[in-house]
Amino acid sequence: MKTRNWLIASLALNAFLIVSICVFSYIYRDKIMQRFVAMKGNPTIVMYGNSITAQGKWTALLDRTDVLNNGLPGMSTYHFLQLLPTHVTNLHPKICFVKGGINDITVGVSQERMQGYYQAILDKIIESKIIPVVTLTVYEQNDPVSKKEVDTLNDFLIKYCQENQVAYIDLNQFISDSTGLKVEYAVDKTHLNEKAYEIWGREIRKVLKEKGI
């Protein structure tokens, strides 16, 4: 009887551990996959930007195992430029999706400096034989001053992309209105929720399909 009870307890414990491991793996599957991609090296796709990029679960959103999330929370375009070699160009991906600017706007970086850094980033990506794709800066919620700065930056980015045959993604047409980022796509004033990331992922998949990647 005692042996039987021990066997039942052992089976129950093993079942609990298996379920726990499965649940843990599911919840943290993107982080686990990112470790794998980083260790393997040579990613096909690099996601590069601030916390909005960093918070995306890109392997799941794109259903691929060759995408590396090199988002840098809290960083500005100046930091993106400085860290470009280690986070993008030295990795030799086929394509890099770039998004930034809102942190610059928040801390009052001038348009001249911000645009200059952004252009240098894109120029260096092109020089490295990597395909750049720009995700235009997303509006914040109910902030007319920030929105005006975002519009100015995005106008510059659209012009750059058109002149250099660079693809760009405009999320604002899907997740923003005349007042800025819509509540149903936000977790706070600036950051996006899962519904917004699903739209972003959809638009990225369109670009990848167009470019045969």
pLDDT for residue 139 is more than 60: yes
**Residues sharing a CB contact under 8 Å with residue 186, sequence separation 6 or more, in sequence order:** 141, 192, 193, 196
In this prediction, residue 42 carries a pLDDT of 76
Average pLDDT, the chain: 88
pLDDT for residue 30 is more than 60: no
pLDDT for residue 24 is more than 50: no
Task: Let me know: does 147 contact 101? Beta carbons within 8 Å.
Answer: no
pLDDT for residue 22 is more than 70: no
Q: How many CB atoms lie within 10 A of CB 206?
A: 12
pLDDT for residue 13 is more than 60: no
Tokens standing for residue 173:
């047409």
Band of pLDDT at residue 36, cut at 50, 70 and 90? low
Q: Lowest-confidence range among 23-27, 87-91, 99-103, 176-180?
A: 23-27
Dihedral sign (CA 34, 36, 40, 43): negative
pTM metric for this prediction:
0.83
Query: Under CATH, which architecture does the 43-210 domain have?
Result: 3-Layer(aba) Sandwich (3.40)
Task: Let me know: does 83 contact 35? Beta carbons within 8 Å.
Answer: no
Band of pLDDT at residue 26, cut at 50, 70 and 90? very low
Task: Let me know: does 179 contact 213? Beta carbons within 8 Å.
Answer: no
Strand partners, 168: 134
Helix, strand or coil for residue 63?
coil
**Residues sharing a CB contact under 8 Å with residue 155, sequence separation 6 or more, in sequence order:** none
- Spell out the domain ranges in the chain: 1-40, 43-210
Q: Lowest-confidence range among 20-34, 93-107, 111-125, 136-150?
A: 20-34
Residue type present at position 145: V
Chain center to CA of 117: 19
Q: What is the mean pLDDT of residues 71-93?
A: 96
d(CA 75, CA 100): 8
d(CA 153, CA 174): 19
How many helices (H) and strands (E) would you count in the chain?
A: 11, 7
What does the CA dihedral 162, 164, 167, 170 come to, rounded to 10 degrees?
-40
In this prediction, residue 1 carries a pLDDT of 58
Residue % of the chain over a pLDDT of 90? 80
